[in-house]
Structure 1
Amino acid sequence: MSDLPESPALVAADVILEDEPSESMKTRRTLGVGFWVSIAWLVIIVLAAILAPYLGLKDPDANYIDRDLGRPPYPPSADFWFGSDNDAKDVFSRTIWGARVSLVVGFVAIACGMLIGGTLGLLAGYLRGWFDRAISFVFLVLLSFPALVLAILITALLDRSLRTVAGTLGFLSIAPVGRLARATTIQYSEREFVLASRTLGAKHGRIMVRELLPNVLIPMGALGLLGMAVAIVAEGALAFLGLSVEQELTWGKLIQLGSGSRDLQEAPWISMGPILILFLTVLALNFAGDRVREYFDVREVSL
């Protein structure tokens, strides 16, 4: 071995490398304040929907006629935060109660998509071959059919119950979630940790559950937030066509009830209250889902 002293340039380079933070530390990303504000709003609206019977709200179906205010609808005030409708029903109370059904529709819809579509996509991406071709063809057929037309067809033929509406929107979410799960599974199925598990003799079930599923759930979770927002908006579209949940209040139905031209001119608050809550909720879901997607994309690239 040589006893020659190290080059001053090499010593300086070592010092620079030790003292200077790495590039990944410089570009370190966080979810951001907006993400946590969005999550806080979602937590508030979910808790309000769950605890609606215990919050001391006005009866959403009762008529609160105030002779001092004259004939309804009443504008927003301390007694009616969002005003009242033409039957003197409190719009704020009805909006909170409507959140119960709208949020359930959105959650059940995307849960069905993630459970069924995610499972099929994971199996197709891992097993490949004829099973992959068959499942991909099914996804392609579902995506080729106009979603709104299919939702109208199903809800028109069946009853307009909460189960039917949520199940219909869940059926429509199977293909988008399944295609994402399949693509992500194919991406990770050739990684070193999967190949190492195969070499060590791990069974297919263990590889899919222990190695692939945690990585597939990350993009599926981001898409789930976006999909829940889409499902809530889709329920509103069905409500305008008279095909939403028949026996319950929803945000879409409340907006539809106050969407007449005369109501919008003389009492816009009838629909503006539910529109505002719907807008903020969908915005929070979209922003949170987008931030989760960007955050984990950056972390995956840095690896």
Structure 2
Amino acid sequence: MPEPSPRSTRTVNDSAEDVSLSVLEAAPGASPPVDRLGPDLEPLTEAPEDPKYVRKRWGLGFWLAATWLGLLLFGALFAAWLPIADPNETFRGLSREGPSLDHWFGGDNIGKDIFSRCVYGARKSLAVGVFAYAGALVIGGTFGLVAGYYRNRIETTITGALDVMLAFPPLVLLIAIGAFLGTETKNLIMALTILAVPSVARIVRALVLTYREREFVLSARALGTRNMRVMIRDILPNVIPTVGAFALIGVANLIVAEGALAFVGVSDPNEVSWGVMINQGRDQIDRASHIVVFPSMMIFLTVLSMNYMGDRIRERLAVKESNV
């Protein structure tokens, strides 16, 4: 009996790797097989990082801005317990003196410590900006939510009123309100709230317009859900994060507006704020420029930090929404 050929003796239990190697060896001109576990194998390299995830990083600038705002908030809240001078105390020989080891920012035109007044001034500047924009969020957010959801005469009426308010010169409006109501802090907050309502309402309306045609909103309306419930339960939670990012920019703008009002005299001169400090030192800017420079730098750094953080948060929210 003839001996069986090698091909006939192969069993179906041969491994897939042996079969593939035999095919490669039998192919004409095929290169010799490479040992996948041998020393010639190059180490695996890490895949390049997806730019989509790189954009999600906050960055050094964001944390620097957050650190500045954190220090500013800490100083505003705990200024009375910090080892700094009384902002209303007058020091002999400090009038218009420059920065020194004892008085880091120098003295103003009557000998008050500028560093202490900058720390205490953050209280009013931040409080006015935050409370005024909070009021604008409530009032303007309500108008924007209603105008964006109802596409009828209600929207036309609200948007027309907002356009009229935006067409009025803001500084003239603030001066008129301040002259009519007075220069007390509560009146200043009220005036800035009225100024911020149109911009907040337009932002909220634009966001509502993008969500009112989404599937989950259309489904809720098809099921017979009341309009008020749809606005509060389905649309409002999606609008709040983006509005919160714009809030930082809005507060920054109101801080600048408060400084402008204080500069023209529409503010209580007996209360310490950055704008009041600039107003009181503008006559000495040619002889002692540091009186104006330091409170101006406080406004500049605060507004810059808020704007940068607001932009970064909006970018992060935009990336998250694009991945949904």
* Residue equivalent to 2:11: none
**One-letter code of the match for 1:64?**
F
Please report how far the alpha carbon of residue 65 of structure 1 lies from its aligned counterpart in structure 2 after TM superposition. 1.1
CA contact 2:178–2:191 (8 Å) conserved in 1: yes
Deviations 1:204-262 (A, max 9, x none): 233212211122112211221111111111111111211123431110110121222xx
Q: Distance in 1 between the 2:322 and 2:176 partners? A: 43
Matched, 1:229 2:252: yes
Q: Which residue of 1 aligns with 2:219?
A: 196
In structure 2, the residue matched to 1:43 is 70
**2:86 alignment partner, one of 59, 62, 75:** 59
1:102 equivalent in alignment to 2:129: no
SS of residue in 1 equivalent to 2:285:
helix
Retained in 2: the 8 A contact 1:161–1:247? Answer: no
CA distance in 2, matches of 1:25, 1:42: 28
Partner letter of residue 81 of structure 2? Answer: Y
Q: 1:78 to 1:20 in 2, by over 3 A?
A: closer
**Preserved CA contact (<8 Å) 2:269 2:276:** no
Report whether the alignment pairs 1:247 with 2:270: yes
Q: Which residue of 1 aligns with 2:39?
A: none
Structure-to-structure mapping, 1:123-138, within 5 angstroms: 123-138=146-161
Q: Distance in 2 between matches of 1:43 and 1:105?
A: 17
- Counterpart Cα distance in 2 of 1:127 and 1:153: 33
Deviation at 1:137, TM superposition (A): 1.0
Check conservation: 2:65, 2:305, Cα contact below 8 A: yes
Q: Partner residue of 2:171?
A: 148
Identity of aligned residues (%): 42
Match of 1:226, as an amino acid? I
Change (3 A) 1:20 1:175: same
Q: For residues 21 and 53 of structure 1, do their structure 2 counterparts lie closer, same or farther at Cα, with a shift above 3 Å needed? A: same
Q: Are 1:73 and 2:122 an aligned pair?
A: no
Greater per-residue helix proportion = 1
TM-score normalised according to structure 2 size: 0.81
Select between 209-218 and 234-243 the one with higher mean Cα deviation. 209-218
User: Is 1:214 aligned with 2:241?
Assistant: no
Q: Which runs of 5+ in 1 are unaligned?
A: 1-18
Matched to 2:91, the amino acid is Y
The whole-number CA distance in structure 1 between the counterparts of 2:80 and 2:207 is 42
Tell me if the contact between 1:125 and 1:186 (Cα under 8 Å) persists in the aligned partners.
Answer: yes
Aligned partners of 2:270 and 2:316: how far apart in 1?
41
Provide the TM-score with structure 1 as the length reference.
Answer: 0.86
Partner of 2:210: 187
For 1:296, give the aligned amino acid. L
After TM superposition, the structure 1 stretch with the greater mean CA deviation from structure 2, 107-116 or 23-32, is 23-32
User: What code does the residue aligned with 1:90 have?
Assistant: D
Letter of the 2:205 counterpart: R
Task: Give secondary structure in 2 for the equivalent of 1:173.
Answer: helix
Q: Does 1:89 align with 2:112?
A: yes
1:26 Cα deviation after fit: 5.3
Query: Where does residue 160 of structure 1 map in the other structure?
Result: 183
The one of 277, 287, 291 aligned to 2:298: 277
Q: Aligned equivalents of 1:78 and 1:24: distance in 2?
A: 48
Contact 1:94 1:249 in 2 (8 A): yes
Maintained 8 Å contact 1:63/1:87: yes
The answer to whether the Cα contact below 8 Å between 1:165 and 1:245 also exists between their aligned partners in 2 is no
In structure 2, runs of 5+ residues without a counterpart are 1-45
Q: Is the 8 A contact 1:117 1:174 kept in 2?
A: yes
**What secondary structure sits across from 2:286 in the alignment?**
helix
Q: 1:271 to 1:27 in 2, by over 3 A?
A: closer
If you compute each CA radius of gyration, which structure gives the higher value, 1 or 2?
2
Indicate the residue corresponding to 2:307 in structure 1: 286
8 Å contact kept, 1:120–1:178? yes
Q: Deviations over 1:123-146 (max 9, x none)?
A: 111122121111111111111111
